[in-house]
Amino acid sequence: MHEMSLVSSILDIANEELAKRQLTRLTRVVVHCGQISNVVADSLLLCFEVLTTGTPHQGAVLEVVNIPLSLRCRHCGQSFTGEGQESLWLPCPLCSAQCGYDIVQGKEFFIQQLEAE
């Protein structure tokens, strides 16, 4: 379960930021999670709860914002919303070409916001 190490990194980053600002308790974390980032939001929430229990951050809210997959066809140059990993292997819904896509968004995973007191 790589979500455990992701949450652990999130908390490392948060602790570093909090220390810089002389804050001690995390209240809210917002992460952006792309549709094909291979991160399972439910596992993330569970790991967050496990890793914050018994720490000053216990009770902090983890908010996962799901970012839909957006692809740009290399043939017609148009962007469209994909339906998951398999969209990468299907012909373009707009021009039917099958020459690959650039991923506009949907692969990312990052901390968007930290709130602390």
Looking at the Cβ atoms of 61 and 97, the one nearer to Zn ion is: 97
Residue 113: CB atoms within 10 A of its CB come to: 11
Cβ atoms of 91 and 97 closer than 8 Å: yes
Q: Does 107 bind Zn ion (CB under 5 A)?
A: no
Of 10, 92, 114, 116, the residue at the interface with Zn ion (CB under 5 A) is 92
Q: Residue 88 corresponds to which tokens in the numbers above?
A: 């990468």
Interface mask toward Zn ion for 36-75; x: CB under 5 A: -------------------------------------x-x
Of 1, 13, 50, 95, the residue at the interface with Zn ion (CB under 5 A) is 95
Distances (CA, A) of 75 to 45, 89, 96, 97: 39, 14, 9, 7
Q: Residue 12 corresponds to which tokens in the numbers above?
A: 């490392």
Question: What are the residues binding Zn ion (CB under 5 A)?
Answer: 73, 75-76, 92, 94-95, 97
